Structure 1
Amino acid sequence: MKFIYTVIVSLLVLFVITFSLKNTAPVPLEYYGVINTSVATYLLIFISFFVGAILVGLLDIMERFRLIRTVRRLNKKVKELEKKLSSSKSLLVAEETEPSDRPSEETSI
């Protein structure tokens, strides 16, 4: 498994290097006069990729926190229901072990 991981990472690094060498043309960036510069094509693409990856990571973190809250809420509900079930079982057992006030069939004959 480590070998496969190493091969994949090596191929990815090779791709990044060859992509960077082939895409060095400058791209002008302008944004309402605030930004007015030119950046290499590969740099613009890599920056866009990493900004997107960071945003997706932040969204994933938010989703994980939401799921953690849901799991905690559901675990709390399960514990409450288990308590309720055990108390119901103990009441049922207590009713079965109490002697009843009604006469048994043997004495009524």
Structure 2
Amino acid sequence: MKVVYIVLVLLFVLLVVTFSLQNQTDVVIQYYDLIPKVSIATYMIIFLSFLVGVIFTGFLGVIERFQLNRTITRLNKQIRELRREIRASEAPPVIEEGNPESKP
């Protein structure tokens, strides 16, 4: 399994290197006059866009995890309260004393 992991990592690195070598054309980035003209390689723009997407998705995942933990806590509290209500509404066990038929 470790060998498969190493092979996959090497293939990914090879893909990244060849992609970078094939996309070295500079692109000028300008947004009206707010940002001065910046010249960046095409592969850097693509990698930065991918990185921003990964970070944004991770942030949304963290937010969703906190919401789910809060929901789990609320539902566990509701379960505890319902169990208390069930125990309170159950009739206590009846213990019969002095039953002459059961004594030998």
Q: Tell me the TM-score normalized by structure 1.
A: 0.80
Aligned 1:87-106 pairs, distance under 5 A: 87-89=88-90, 92-94=91-93, 97=94
Cα distance between partner residues in 1 of 2:6 and 2:34 = 43
Secondary structure at 1:24 match in 2: coil
The one-letter amino acid paired with 1:48 is S
Partner in structure 1 of residue 67 of structure 2: 66
Cα distance between partner residues in 2 of 1:14 and 1:88 = 68
| The structure with more radius of gyration | 1
Q: Stretches of 4+ moved more than 3 A in 1?
A: none
Partner in structure 2 of residue 105 of structure 1: none
Cα distance between partner residues in 1 of 2:78 and 2:68 = 15
Q: CA RMSD in A?
A: 1.6
Q: Percent identity?
A: 46
Deviation at 1:63, TM superposition (A): 0.4
Partner in structure 2 of residue 107 of structure 1: none
Secondary structure at 1:60 match in 2: helix
Partner in structure 2 of residue 20 of structure 1: 20
Report how many aligned residue pairs link the two structures. 95
User: Which structure 1 segments of 5+ residues have no match?
Assistant: 100-109
Partner in structure 2 of residue 86 of structure 1: 87
Deviation at 1:98, TM superposition (A): 7.7
Q: Which has the higher helix share?
A: 1
User: Which structure 2 segments of 5+ residues have no match?
Assistant: 97-104
Q: Tell me the TM-score normalized by structure 2.
A: 0.83
Partner in structure 2 of residue 5 of structure 1: 5
